Amino acid sequence: MCGIFGVSTPKKDQILEDVYLGLYALQHRGQESAGIAWIDDEAHLQIQKGMGLVHAALNQEKLAKEKTTCAIGHVRYVTAGKSSLINAQPLHASYSKGHVAIAHNGNITNAEGLKRDLESRGAIFQSATDTEVILHLMAHEQNLSPIDALIKSLSKLRGAFSIVALIEGSLVAARDPWGFRPLTIGKRDGIFYVASESCALDIVKASYVRDVRPGEIIIINEGNIKSLNIDTKATRRFRCSFEYVYLARPDSDIDGHSVYDVRLKLGQKLAKTCPCPQGELVLGMPDSGTIGALGYAFTSKLPFEMAIVRNRYVGRTFIQPTRRVRELGVQIKLNPIDNLIRDKKIVVVDDSIIRGTTSKIALRFLREAGAKEIHLRIASPPVKFPCIYGIDTPTSSDLAAAKMDVETLKKHIGADSLCFLDIEDLIGSIDLPEIELCTACFSGNYMEE
Ligand code: AMP
Ligand code: SF4
């Protein structure tokens, strides 16, 4: 998962701070590195990139002073290629047709095959990212203009790609024909914005225009927006359902559906299919389980308490690279309020179980805090299959629900009962037809290549 952001203004302006702020709002989508590319006074590409969080990676003061008409930005979370500055985005290239910068969210599933083919034709890759394939594909289209070369290159890709690019002074944005990763358009005072999530439009006070449609390429220049299509036939869509479950911020809307509302519904449906008549109190695993827990408590008419407190200054545990740090991370991150829990039969709601470490450790400290019974309710189906579209769940051997059935998992985690949401209820809560959604990590139904 990564976050991307782009701006295009008809007259030169200090818009790099907007990109900085947009990336800040998208920080949850990637914490490894951040970068911004823009076009300077001499029509040259300028790039600032760094490792770590946005504030550490980028120089806000310097960026705020620059004036430009067009800029893109990226926050990276490693899915393809190692964590190092050479893989940080935006990537850029200068070739015979000019300068190009590109930032990408998603995972191109046929990248390896394309890369081998390009290498056999003389291409030398600098980074280990699948994104660089797009630049090399473009460079091999010598007879086409850079924008046409991009359009043709995108038609060769399979899998997930939401991109923003700077080409010939225009801001170009595109979303793969299956619609895996979100991408939305906003506008303020004639300035156009493109962002992975609508929460990044809010911070720059841009109003929502619409989402980029699956398979659409938009070219924004001097206040005009032009829409084209990627020449790939997609028989159905694969919008990522996990964005609604966990990945996206709850204050974002994706494809017209509020992430908050979906999470609330997931909890409400969970209360119907996985009731807990003996429960006395509902609590959510912060922050990701909180909204689902609210929905669960509302429907089951049980009291809701914020009985686990989260240290706000610790990042998401799954971003930490090793198991040891991940486990420690949970303890650093979460702390129960013993008085609320002691001698109670509690219902704990979380959004998902991936490796099973968070719930196992959390349930241990909830027992130590004196909980009499702990009933774990998960507001999504069991994650049994790896995501190959850009989310870090690499192999089935890392996925708790792939290794164990629900009963074994319940014992492993140490819960008195464990119950997951059905896939049908996940789809019903998002309120999109099944053929519009990807549920591969739950169902194993991957896209046919
Ligand atoms: P764990 O089961 O210990 O891997 O932690 C699961 C929790 O991490 C979930 O409740 C989510 O809040 C969060 N999470 C969501 N997606 C992922 C992911 N792809 N990898 C790891 N953790 C995730
Ligand atoms: Fe999203 Fe899961 Fe599909 Fe990956 S496999 S795109 S996480 S729904």
Residues known to be catalytic: 2
pLDDT in tens, 258-271: 999 999 999 999 99
Q: Predicted confidence band at 218 (pLDDT cuts at 50, 70, 90)?
A: very high
The CA angle 198-201-206, to the nearest 5 degrees, is 130
Least confident of 8-22, 113-127, 212-226, 420-434: 113-127
Instruction: Report CA torsion sign: 49, 51, 53, 57.
Output: negative
What pLDDT does residue 321 have?
Answer: 59
Q: Exposed, middle or buried: residue 259 (CB in 10 Å: 0-12, 13-18, 19+)?
A: buried
Distance, CA of 286 to CA of 297 (rounded, Å): 15
What pLDDT does residue 195 have?
Answer: 98
149 CA distance to ligand 1 middle (Å): 38
Q: Which residues of 30-63 are buried (b: 16+ CB within 10 A; e: fewer)?
A: bbbbbbbbbbeeeeebbebbbeebbeebbeeeeb
Contact 50, 23 (CB under 8 A): no
Q: Predicted confidence band at 320 (pLDDT cuts at 50, 70, 90)?
A: low
Q: Which ligand is nearest to the CA of 388?
A: 2
Classified as helix, coil or strand, 342 is coil
Q: Predicted confidence band at 250 (pLDDT cuts at 50, 70, 90)?
A: very high
Distance, CA of 2 to CA of 162 (rounded, Å): 10
Q: Predicted confidence band at 319 (pLDDT cuts at 50, 70, 90)?
A: low
Q: Predicted confidence band at 317 (pLDDT cuts at 50, 70, 90)?
A: very low
Contact 294, 284 (CB under 8 A): yes
The pick from 29, 158, 239, 241 for probing ligand 2's pocket by mutation, whose C-beta has the most ligand atoms within 8 angstroms, reads 241
Q: Over 70: is that where the pLDDT of 154 sits?
A: yes
Distance, CA of 234 to CA of 308 (rounded, Å): 44
Distance, CA of 87 to CA of 381 (rounded, Å): 33
φ, ψ dihedrals at 269, nearest 5°:
-65, -40
50 CA distance to ligand 1 middle (Å): 26
Instruction: Report CA torsion sign: 118, 121, 126, 128.
Output: positive
Sorted by where each starts, the structural domains of the chain and their CATH numbers stand as 3-234 (3.60.20.10), 243-443 (3.40.50.2020)
The pick from 29, 334, 352, 388 for probing ligand 1's pocket by mutation, whose C-beta has the most ligand atoms within 8 angstroms, reads 352
What pLDDT does residue 194 have?
Answer: 98
Ligand 1 pocket member 318 (CB < 6 A): yes
What pLDDT does residue 302 have?
Answer: 98
Q: Over 70: is that where the pLDDT of 203 sits?
A: yes
Q: Predicted confidence band at 129 (pLDDT cuts at 50, 70, 90)?
A: confident
Q: Over 60: is that where the pLDDT of 448 sits?
A: yes
Q: Over 50: is that where the pLDDT of 318 sits?
A: no
When pLDDT is averaged across residues 368-380 and rounded to a whole number, the result is: 97
